[in-house]
Amino acid sequence: MACYALVDCNNFYASCERAFRPELNGRPVVVLSNNDGCIIARSGEAKALGIDMGTPYFKCRALLERHGVAVFSSNYALYGDMSARVMRILTRFCPAVEVYSIDEAFCDLSGVPGGAEAYGRRLRATVLAWTGIPVSVGIARTKTLAKLANRFAKKQDRSRGVFDLTTSPDPDRVLRWTDIGDVWGIGPRHAKRLRAMGVTNALQFRELDRDWVKKKMTVSGLHTLLELRGLPCHDFASGPADKKTIVSSRSFGHPVTRLDHMLEATAQYTTRAAEKLRKQQSVASAILVYLQTNSFRLGQPQYANTLSVPLAVATNHTPTLIRAAQTAMERIFKPGYQYKKCGVMLSGLEPEHGRWLNLLALPPDHRPGDAPLMRAVDRVNHRWGRDTVAFAASGITRDWRMKRDMRSPRYTTVWEEILQVRAK
């Protein structure tokens, strides 16, 4: 019988910041989204102050200052590297690991020696000792139940970070304790509707009629129901699946009004998206661009538009993609507006090798030298850091760039920012 452990890092981004600043232990810490927009991670102390996830920074700034909260801009170079370290440890000690997100992984603990719970405790202690990141471990027969067990492990002090639902004397009590809105797969819309019917916890949901659930919540809802009953519906995936779409978009540091700035940003985001595309060895057959004004500014004139253009031949050649994206952007850009954000999306992704070729158009990356050039650019940027080699179309000063006024050093990925230790 399958036995899954969900290993989830506690307050991951806040914990990453703390791992290098031990003086912050016991102090409230929050991390902001891109552009220092809203709160996306909180230490336990920050949660206790009543700071909600997703709160705009400017709305809670005074409260944060009053309580001496340490505030950080997000530092994805640091979080990505810390995540890789955690995942390497899990991979080393577990027979099979599915990395589910930057801070979570499902581990197959079927048949581990000494029992799953003891194994989970050793995993937890090892990750903490080797990375400084505290994790919680929830163990169960299905992924949905493992999620639920993990939450219980996090919230109930007496489980000390690990909870095994498969050996629990009263698993139904844990389901009754779990609010309907905290069940994996049940979002705010369905939760509201279920509550209105008197279904307020996971146990009550589990007892609902399956046909009713399928009709009202599609097969996704049915899978959630069956998983709560112990029937696995979500398979264990060992490798990451290839993406079907790739998006790159950002809000600007301040409003953009000029077409040339918009075209620079378009080129920059296209460059990012193309890098991701080549990393999974795919080519894109269409590119979509969009732009929008700030919809929170009700008094200002609003405009948003998108344009999707098919590519004659699927490609991952950055200059070709930039040309297509900029041409599309020129067509939807209208002067006289204060733009807040733009983005590009690559779709119709296919494997790079063994794809169909259009008989009427020469594949752009079949020009001799194009593919090797892209490979060389990727290698240089991987070795020496992002944008060591960049495309001129992305601009030099990049006035539109996002704000990150409080970013911590990239301790683990940039030599100049490495942690310094001084002897007294």
Partner DNA sequence: TCTGGGGTCCTAGGACCC
Angle subtended at Cα 23 by Cα 17 and Cα 26, rounded to the nearest 5 degrees: 85
Please, which of residues 54-83 interact with DNA by CB under 7 A?
54, 56-58
Smallest distance, Å, CB 51 to DNA?
14
Cα separation, 240 vs 350, whole angstroms? 16
Nearer to DNA, 304 or 373 (CB): 304
153 binding DNA? (CB under 7 A): no
Q: Which of 241, 236, 1 is nearest to 96 (CA)?
A: 236
- Determine contact, residues 152/174, Cβ cutoff 8 Å: yes
Identify the residue among 21, 122, 176, 243 touching DNA (CB under 7 A): 243
Helix and strand numbers (H, E) in the chain are 13, 13
Identify the residue among 141, 154, 190, 261 touching DNA (CB under 7 A): 190
Identify the residue among 178, 251, 271, 318 touching DNA (CB under 7 A): 251
Smallest distance, Å, CB 365 to DNA?
21
Nearer to DNA, 58 or 384 (CB): 58
Task: List strands edge to edge, sheet with 4-9.
Answer: 96-101, 104-108, 4-9, 135-140, 162-164
* Number of residues binding to DNA, judged by CB under 7 A: 49
Instruction: Choose the binding region for DNA from 27-35, 63-71, 129-137, 161-169 (rule: CB under 7 A).
Output: 27-35
Nearer to DNA, 80 or 115 (CB): 80
Please, which of residues 86-125 interact with DNA by CB under 7 A?
100-104
Nearer to DNA, 229 or 243 (CB): 243
- Determine contact, residues 55/38, Cβ cutoff 8 Å: yes
Identify the residue among 85, 254, 355, 398 touching DNA (CB under 7 A): 254
Cα separation, 358 vs 98, whole angstroms? 37
Smallest distance, Å, CB 411 to DNA?
21
Smallest distance, Å, CB 224 to DNA?
8
Please, which of residues 327-366 interact with DNA by CB under 7 A?
340-341, 343
312 binding DNA? (CB under 7 A): no
Identify the residue among 159, 248, 326, 412 touching DNA (CB under 7 A): 248
List beta partners, residue 70: 29
* Tokens read off for 328: 């599309």
- Determine contact, residues 369/270, Cβ cutoff 8 Å: no
Instruction: Choose the binding region for DNA from 120-128, 133-141, 218-226, 390-398 (rule: CB under 7 A).
Output: 218-226
Identify the residue among 34, 200, 204, 327 touching DNA (CB under 7 A): 34
* Tokens read off for 172: 């139904």
* Tokens read off for 298: 């009700």
Site string for DNA, 287-306 (x = CB under 7 A): -------x-xx---------
Nearer to DNA, 295 or 388 (CB): 295
Cα separation, 187 vs 395, whole angstroms? 41
- Which amino acid belongs to residue 73? S
Quick one: DSSP state of residue 117?
A: H
247 binding DNA? (CB under 7 A): yes
Cα separation, 278 vs 271, whole angstroms? 11
Instruction: Choose the binding region for DNA from 65-73, 85-93, 184-192, 353-361 (rule: CB under 7 A).
Output: 184-192
- Determine contact, residues 269/249, Cβ cutoff 8 Å: yes
Nearer to DNA, 25 or 281 (CB): 281
Instruction: Choose the binding region for DNA from 216-224, 257-265, 326-334, 409-417 (rule: CB under 7 A).
Output: 216-224
Nearer to DNA, 272 or 410 (CB): 272
Q: Is 64 helix (H, G, I), strand (E, B) or coil?
A: helix
Q: Which of 332, 321, 422 is nearest to 364 (CA)?
A: 321
44: Cα separation from own chain's centroid = 21
Identify the residue among 15, 83, 131, 249 touching DNA (CB under 7 A): 249
Identify the residue among 208, 373, 402, 406 touching DNA (CB under 7 A): 402
Nearer to DNA, 124 or 143 (CB): 143
Phi and psi dihedrals of 73, rounded to 5? Answer: -70, 155
Cα separation, 376 vs 399, whole angstroms? 28
Cα separation, 351 vs 221, whole angstroms? 32
Q: Which residues bind DNA (CB under 7 A)?
A: 33-35, 37-38, 40, 54, 56-58, 100-104, 147, 183-191, 218-220, 241, 243-251, 254-255, 272, 276, 294, 296-297, 340-341, 343, 402
